[in-house]
Amino acid sequence: MKFRQIHILLFLIILPCLPGYGQDDEEAPAAPTLLFATINKDNGYTELLWTSNTEPDLAGYAVYNFRNGEGYIIDSVFNISATSYSFRNPWSESRQECYVIAAFDVSRNISRLSNVLCTVYSMANPDPCNNLIGVSWTSYKSFPYEVLRYDVMVSENSGPYYLAESAGSNENGISLGSITEGSRYDFIIKAVLENGQSSSSNPTSAVASLTTLPRWINADYATVTDDGEIELSFHIDSSSDIDTFALERRTGYSGPYQQIELFTGGDTESLSYTDRSARTDEINFYRLSAVVCREYALTSNTASSLKLSLTNTGNEIILNWNRYRQWLGSVSSWTILADKGKGFEYEATVSPDDTLYVISIPEIMHELKKDELCFKIRATETGNPHGINGESVSGNACTTIEELVTLPNVFTPDGDGINDLFRPVMTFTPAEYRLTISDRRRKVVFETSDHTESWDGTSGGSPVAQDVYMWFLRVTTPSGLSIDRTGTITVVRRK
């Protein structure tokens, strides 16, 4: 056994110095009986008592810590009249500690191990939901003396200990009521034995404190990510001692909220969460609640995701979105972001009272670098009472802009600012471009390779006559498509 190996190693080191070493004696001394194990409440020392061994060749006693069926040497006592031992064991403050004793003689013989005794380990846990403190403890072995009961000794705010309650020998816990909020309670458990002795536990303590609710919980934002998930952020009043919060979600404007996450422990001043199961094509509402005694005690304002809708009429793009609900502040503005082929960039700022924006396709078509055009809407909070102004971004709303070329068949270059210029209307920026306009005699009156240049109805600086003119257009689209077109344009002069 491991004990035997430990004993042999110990005595190979220490016993050559003992009187009588080398005598032909192979009889082990009788094993002592471990009578008592306790923790001194005044100094925290563990104290052990055992029966004496009166054999003439006794050399002393070995003290062991006993864990998981194995013994670990603590000390050797070279005093044949010793029947007690005390020492500081810091582990007794966090767990039950067990011990055995063995006797050894001058010939290196060691007795079998004594019976096992363990000190009582106690714990105290406040229960603010029921205004109680729960006290529990480990059992003390009823050998060699029977345990009659356990006395729960309590001290309030460092006052004298008094008997709060007694429990049966087969019980391991009580609940202490009638406690005072804010008071500190220290506990010692005494296992009362039939011989009149009491084995004391480690001291344990708890503060009777009713739960301090947060004064506020701020839902910072709900924002849609590029991965189609919804990121959430919350801040919580730091004066609270609540460490359990429930996150709820509702999809759409009606129906019940459903709990989707429960947070316990950790940082309770701020919480972040990514909702990977939400449908971003719907409006989702979120709220966070402080949980006390399995009940929702305080709930945040609502955070809502933004849903951006897009309608392409062919000539216009109509954007509309839901209002953000419900920041503790207010929406300072809406920002339109557009991706025209180079990533999302600022497009426009919209009044916080509006939820609709119209974009003319011809006005932006020359800025497009690809046929897909995408938008986002961003809401920014102002006036948050806790100084935590949030920002929420919608998911993408995209449309395909076809590579279309259209040209008018009449224009009126009379200087009134209405229909004074002629050029093709394209839904893209051409890679190559050539526009040529000629009169009936095929004389070129206008020619350009710049798709942004328009004909103003002049030739050589002079107005052309009211008549029908021929045009020829050659363009290469961003996708590489070559387009050749020809047609007529009528110049009408109303002055």
Q: Give the tens place of pLDDT for each residue, 276-290.
A: 999 999 999 999 999
Q: Compute the average pLDDT of residues 239-255.
A: 92
Q: CB atoms < 10 A from the CB of 415, how many?
A: 12
Distance CA 126, CA 244 (A): 16
At the fourth CATH level, which superfamily is domain 122-207? Immunoglobulins (2.60.40.10)
Continuous segment of H or E residues that includes residue 422: none
pLDDT confidence tier of residue 495, bands split at 50, 70 and 90: low
CB 456 within 8 A of CB 413: yes
Q: What are phi and psi of 125, to 5 degrees?
A: -135, 120
Indicate the SS3 state at residue 31: coil
Note whether 2-118 and 308-400 share their fold: yes
At the fourth CATH level, which superfamily is domain 217-300? Immunoglobulins (2.60.40.10)
The rounded radius of gyration (Å) of the Cα atoms in the chain is 44
Tokens of 215: 């004064």
Residue 116 predicted with pLDDT over 90? yes
All structural domains of the chain with their residue ranges = 2-118, 122-207, 217-300, 308-400, 405-491
Q: Compute the average pLDDT of residues 11-35.
A: 68
Classified by CATH at the fold level, domain 308-400 comes out as Immunoglobulin-like (2.60.40)
Task: For 185-224, write each residue's pLDDT tens digit.
Answer: 999 999 999 999 999 999 999 988 767 889 999 999 999 9
pLDDT confidence tier of residue 434, bands split at 50, 70 and 90: very high
pLDDT score of 477: 85
How do strand 308-312 and strand 303-304 relate by DSSP bridges? Answer: unpaired
Residue 33 predicted with pLDDT over 70? yes
Q: Please, which residues have CB within 8 angstroms of residue 42's CB and are 6 or more apart in sequence? A: none
Task: For 355-366, write each residue's pLDDT tens digit.
Answer: 999 998 877 876
Greatest extent of the chain over all pairs of C-alpha atoms, in Å: 143
Distance CA 443, CA 265 (A): 85
* Of residues 32, 43, 34, the one with CA closest to residue 200: 43
Domain made up of 2-118: CATH architecture: Sandwich (2.60)
Q: Which residues of 381-397 are buried (b: 16+ CB within 10 A; e: fewer)?
A: beebeeebbbebbbbbb
- CA-CA-CA-CA torsion sign (217, 285, 380, 266): positive
Distance CA 435, CA 465 (A): 20
Q: Given this structure, which CATH class describes domain 405-491?
A: mainly beta
Look at phi and psi of residue 156 and say left if phi exceeds 0, alpha if psi is from -120 to 50, else beta: beta
Q: CB atoms < 10 A from the CB of 406, how many?
A: 11
Look at phi and psi of residue 182 and say left if phi exceeds 0, alpha if psi is from -120 to 50, else beta: left
CB 82 within 8 A of CB 96: no
